[in-house]
Amino acid sequence: MQKNFHQKITRGIIVVSVALVVGGIIFVKRQPGAYDGFAQCLKDKGATFYGAFWCPHCQRQKQLFGKSARLLPYVECSTPDGQGQTLACSEKHIEGYPTWIFANGETVSGEIPLERLVEKTGCALP
């Protein structure tokens, strides 16, 4: 009887602990990123970031935005096998990654500092 009671208590503690950890992760992920407004402004101003999941330069570009990268106006150009390019990117003549295309049609390739994105779009950094 005592053993059953201790097993139930132990299970209850485990369930509560897991719930707290999962809840904490969800809470942290829902917190706004420092560059949320900036990333949204880039989208609103018509800038588009073309990249590939396997591209280290694209990963570094995204890292500049931290958790706000999820809001970037990003277009994945690689096919899932990493061997080809999507139609959306080939139609835009994307030849390297990352590539940004701005509302005025200007194309800039390579990692772009946030300050240069400010110059190109008029969006303000936080």
% of the chain with per-residue pLDDT over 90: 75
Residues 45-84: pLDDT tens digits?
999 999 999 999 999 999 999 999 999 999 999 999 999 9
pLDDT given for residue 32 in this prediction: 85
pLDDT given for residue 68 in this prediction: 97
Domain positions in the chain: 1-31, 36-121
Closest CA to 98 of 72, 123, 119: 72
pTM (two decimals): 0.75
Structural fold of domain 36-121: Glutaredoxin (3.40.30)
Looking at the predicted structure, is the pLDDT value of residue 22 above 90? no
Looking at the predicted structure, is the pLDDT value of residue 25 above 80? no
| Whether the Cβ atoms of residue 103 and residue 117 lie closer than 8 Å to each other | no
Average pLDDT over residues 19-26: 55
What is the phi-psi region of residue 93: left when phi exceeds 0, alpha when psi lies from -120 to 50, beta otherwise?
left
Task: Give the count of beta carbons closer than 10 Å to the beta carbon of residue 36.
Answer: 17
